[in-house]
Amino acid sequence: MTIKNYNYTCMKKLFILSAILLSSALTKAQTIWTSETKLKGFIGKYEIVMTLAIPYGGATSCFTIGEYYYLSKKKNIDLCSEDDERIVERVDGNETGYFILKNWNKKIGQTVIGTWHTMDGKKAFPVTLKVIGKGKN
């Protein structure tokens, strides 16, 4: 085997090994939403649709993940609860408010109540949501 062929073989093996490691890392970085609950209701007088789930896969530090949007705007707002009490919303990477919702993982038709707060605690609005779906919707 010549030096040129040896270098080519080594580079080929290195490339394949790198591809395997990269695909393995990407697979581990995925988060799967399990136990999804879809809710619809109000923050104060503003109508929203929310999806909450329990993450699986290790790519997040959240105990609860999800998203919601105001029916008037239809722009998704990300949700994450790292302490299993406050479900924090993030808009453009900034924490802008949080929900306190008790027992959100209920059956279809049941009502979930709570409060939405600004991060500085200066404003709070009542939250009333009804479970409208479970699983992938």
What span, in angstroms and rounded, lies between the C-alpha atoms of 22 and 86? 34
Q: Give the predicted TM-score (pTM) of the model.
A: 0.72
Asked if the model's pLDDT at residue 40 lies above 60, the reply is yes
Q: What is the pLDDT of residue 29?
A: 47
- Torsion angles phi and psi, residue 50, rounded to 5: -130, 145
Range 77-81 contact pairs with CB under 8 angstroms and sequence separation of 24 or more: 79/50, 79/52
Both 15 and 74 in one domain: the answer is no
Question: What confidence tier does 80 reach under pLDDT thresholds 50, 70, 90?
Answer: very high
Q: What is the pLDDT of residue 72?
A: 94
* Least confident stretch, 16-20, 86-90, 113-117: 16-20
Question: What confidence tier does 55 reach under pLDDT thresholds 50, 70, 90?
Answer: confident
Both 24 and 36 in one domain: the answer is no
Q: What is the pLDDT of residue 17?
A: 45
Both 56 and 17 in one domain: the answer is no
Both 62 and 123 in one domain: the answer is yes
* Cα→Cα distances 125→25, 97, 98, Å: 41, 11, 11
Total tally of structural domains belonging to the chain: 2
The arithmetic mean of pLDDT across residues 11-24, rounded, is 49
Both 47 and 110 in one domain: the answer is yes
The arithmetic mean of pLDDT across residues 59-82, rounded, is 89
Both 112 and 123 in one domain: the answer is yes
Residue 89: which CATH number? 2.40.128
Q: What is the pLDDT of residue 19?
A: 45
Torsion-angle region of 37 (φ positive above 0: left; ψ -120 to 50: alpha; else: beta): beta
Q: What is the pLDDT of residue 71?
A: 95
